[in-house]
Chain A
Amino acid sequence: MNTANSEIAIRTERVARHYQMGSALVRAVDDVSLEICSGEFAALLGSSGSGKSTLLNLIAGLDRPTAGAIYAHGQNLAQMNSQLLAQHRSRTVGMVFQAFNLLPRMTLEENVELPLRLAEVDRGERAARVREAVQRVRLEARLTHHPTELSGGEQQRAALARALVNRPAILLADEPTGNLDTATGEAILDLLREINESMGMTILMVTHDRERAERFAHRILQMSDGKLIANGATHEVS
């Protein structure tokens, strides 16, 4: 079920991110314009080095564009200072990484609670929010476990719970199944679809797996050499 509505969650206008590497100018993202509606599940496809992760980082507010504008729910990220960008990362977007990036010395519960600490959410409210996020990814029984005691799939579900705990409007997933076997990867994608459908959360997922992207996403965006070469509904781009 496509829960997307007409409100634009993410819009980029001629966004570019160039790097200087020695004497060469690397155009990691080059003149990319796109729109993703609120509640949409979009997959950003491309081969390694195509610029998809760079674009995701720009939308996450982890990096700044060399040119162009990025809007998240109407707010121009290019005009934000570092403090506002931190707020954007804390409140508007949640991120999931290929490498899970859980902090190894913390338990699952503490890892999930971490964004709430950073967002200065009251302690009284935190436990309920953590429980809600952990229940959504079905890891209630593993709350006191450390990441090293969890399987890869469980770690990614924990990372997903951490990304959801602040109830962001947009979920950005950078190759979330890249470190998982096929079955576990399928389970994570099922979970993402469930979140998208039940919560109406906008999801932008970077992947190089076209088959999965077509099965789970509403929209396919394809990049090559920093440029957006395809952008449309799954059935159109396929």
Chain B
Amino acid sequence: MKFRDLTELAGRNLREAALRNSLTTLGIAVGVASLVAMLSLGVGLQELASKRLSRSGLFNAVFVASRVNLRNFQRRAATPPAAPPEMSRPLDEDARRQLAALVNVIEVYPEIRFPVDVRYAENSYPSIVASVPPSARASGAYDGMKGAFFSGTAADEAILQIEFAKELSQQPDSLIGKEIVFRYLERQDAPAGTSSANAAPAAPGAASSIPGVSPGSLPGMSVVPRQKSLRIVGIVETEPAVGFGGVGGGRVLIPLDVALSLHIAQANDLREILRGGFAKPGYASLTVRVKNPADVASVEAAIRQMGFAAFSLLDVTRGLRLVFAVFDLLLGLFGSLALAVASLGIVNTLVMAILERRREIGVLKALGAADRDVRRLFFAEAGAMGLLGGIFGVLLGWLIGRGLTFGANIYLHRQDLPSVQLASVPWWMVGGAIAFSVAVSLAAGIFPASRAARLNPVEALRYE
């Protein structure tokens, strides 16, 4: 029998016992819906986590340091050092420009953290200031903040971390719009030869000069206390992880350009003086942000080739993917249980159909239907129920996912938390669920179809 005739006959048979077949199809739809709802939750949560992590900047970033700065960076590096330590390059503005020119790199920014003494309401509070790049606004850490993000890249504004804000005031929200002043140490460069006049003679018993290096022949720096006024524009609940391992975390957050303009004296400046490489101011570390996590590995390798230490959380991402894959698998298995039960409904319906249509099968065989035709007819009916059940099931599963998201968001709003998309039904899941439904239905139809095909036509024709 030709395919079109087969489907026409199958459709006619399904319409004949409309109620029973509809109920069976509904059973399949519920099974598929449970599968889709479970998987959509898994995928939705995975996407939510990926989006949040991606927005945090940790998974599409490579953290760069001068090789001598952080030994543990080198230990983590899988590749051997491209240059020996003495040849390692300083992490200065030139290096920053070169890193920014790499393929798939969006931005390169330093992490500037420094101790300050915050003055507010005639009190003094020791704290840590951290710079925030403009791209950090997209980070989820600022979603639920009170107040607003910085109005500009060089605005004299500050965002306080809530715990620090509580130290300043019992009513942290009232701080928004107020001024704070922080005192910091500014670095003032002293070119070679300019510091010798001020160099005090070495005291007896004190440490000796560096052999071969006359005092003042190397560049040096002065450290000058300064202060800066900033307007508080926002208060953030969580401490944003603007840098690797929370290094960038600070209690007072200021725009990156403001931090750069302050010429802060940092710990690595002292080390560079000792190494004799203090010709130009450098950075303790730089964060290189790439277009997407897939680009991290190639950019990381390129940075190592340039002679820097580089580290990313790529391995952590891989581990996370594995966790979600197992999570999805388990959800899929639970969802499939309902579909397995529904498949028994198909078996039951088709077996009943064989009993009811026994005589019809005999007639079909008497008129020339081969065993294969009868088998295919029952398969087509099972497949049609699977297809319809799959389509309705996907729709139902999507609605369940929407309902769960809706309910979850009501709860989150009550907790003053931002909305989330809890469930996600991508196209691959739509196609996969329908195909799976048809496959399960066909598998369920194997037994009834074979039984129908094997019917003895003489006995079937006698059946009343």
User: Are B369 and A103 neighbours in the complex by a CB distance under 8 Å?
Assistant: no
The answer, among A57, A63, A95, A120, for a CB contact under 8 Å with B367, is A95
Q: State how many angstroms separate the Cβ of A55 from the closest Cβ of chain B.
A: 12
Of the four ranges (under 10, 10 to 19, 20 to 34, 35 or more), the interface on chain A belongs to 20 to 34
Judged by a CB distance under 8 angstroms, whether A65 is at the interface is no
Contacting pair A103 B1 (CB below 8 A): no
Across the interface, A118 reaches (CB within 8 A) one of B359, B360, B364, namely B364
| B: number of interface residues (CB 8 Å) | 24
Q: Does B2 contact A (CB under 8 A)?
A: yes
Using Cβ atoms and an 8 Å threshold, which residues of chain A touch B367?
89-90, 95, 114-115, 118, 162
Nearest-neighbour CB distance to chain B for A67, whole angstroms, equals: 18
Q: Does B304 contact A (CB under 8 A)?
A: no
Say yes or no: A101-B461 contact (C-beta < 8 A), given A60-B366, A118-B373, A166-B368: yes
Q: A114 CA to B371 CA in the complex, in Å? A: 16
Interface residue? A62 (CB, 8 A): yes
Interface flags for A80-93 (1: CB within 8 Å of B; 0: not) read 00110011011100
How far does the Cβ of B24 sit from chain A's closest Cβ, in whole Å? 19
Contact A117–B371 (Cβ < 8 Å): no
User: How far is A62 from B371 in the complex, measured between Cα atoms in Å?
Assistant: 12
Given A89-B365, A101-B363: A82 and B461 interface contact (C-beta under 8 Å): no
Residue of A57, A90, A103, A106 near B368 (CB, 8 A) is A90
Residue of B nearest to A58 (CB): B458
Question: Would you give the 0/1 interface string for B362-404, flagging 1 where the beta carbon is closer than 8 Å to chain A?
Answer: 1111111111110000000000000000000000000000000
A57 and B458 form a contact (CB under 8 A): yes
CB pair A118 B366 closer than 8 Å: no
Q: How far is the CA of A103 from the CA of B369 in the complex (A)?
A: 14
Interface flags, B1-35, vs A, CB<8A=1, else 0: 11001000100100010000000000000000000
State whether the Cβ of B172 lies closer than 8 Å to any Cβ in chain A: no
B371 CB, nearest partner CB in chain A, Å = 5
8 A Cβ contacts from A115-167 to B = 115, 117-120, 162, 166
Q: A132–B381 Cα gap in the complex (Å)?
A: 32
Q: Does A97 contact B (CB under 8 A)?
A: yes
A-contact bits for B417-438, CB 8 A (1 contact / 0 none): 0000000000000000000000
A117 pairs with B366, CB closer than 8 A: no
The 8 Å CB contact of B458, one of A63, A86, A115, is A63
Whether A105 sits at the interface, judged by CB under 8 Å, is yes
B457 at the interface (CB under 8 A from A): yes
With the chains together, A95 CA to B372 CA distance in Å? 21
Contacts A118-B364, A120-B1; A83 near B370 (Cβ below 8 A)? yes
Q: Is B458 in contact with A62, judged by CB distance below 8 angstroms?
A: yes
Contacts of A118 in B (CB 8 A): 1, 364, 367-369, 373
Q: Once bound together, how far apart are the Cα atoms of A118 and B457, in whole Å?
A: 16
Cβ contact within 8 Å between A62 and B373: no
Q: Distance (Å) between the CB of A21 and the closest chain B CB?
A: 14
How far is it, in angstroms, between the C-alpha of A99 and the C-alpha of B359 when the chains are bound? 11
- Least CB distance from A161 to B in Å reads 12
A88 and chain B: residue at smallest CB distance: B368
Residues of B within 8 A of A103 (CB): 360, 363
Give min CB distance, A220 to chain B, whole Å.
25
Interface residues, chain B, CB within 8 Å of chain A?
1-2, 5, 9, 12, 16, 359-360, 362-373, 456-458, 461
8 sampled A-B residue pairs with Cβ under 8 A: A62-B458, A86-B370, A86-B371, A114-B367, A115-B367, A118-B368, A118-B369, A120-B1
Query: Using a CB–CB distance below 8 Å, which chain A residues touch chain B?
Result: 57, 60, 62-63, 82-83, 86-87, 89-91, 95, 97, 101, 103, 105-106, 114-115, 117-120, 162, 166
Known: A101-B363, A117-B1. 11 other contacts (CB 8 A): A62-B458, A86-B365, A86-B373, A87-B370, A89-B365, A95-B366, A115-B368, A117-B2, A117-B5, A118-B373, A119-B368
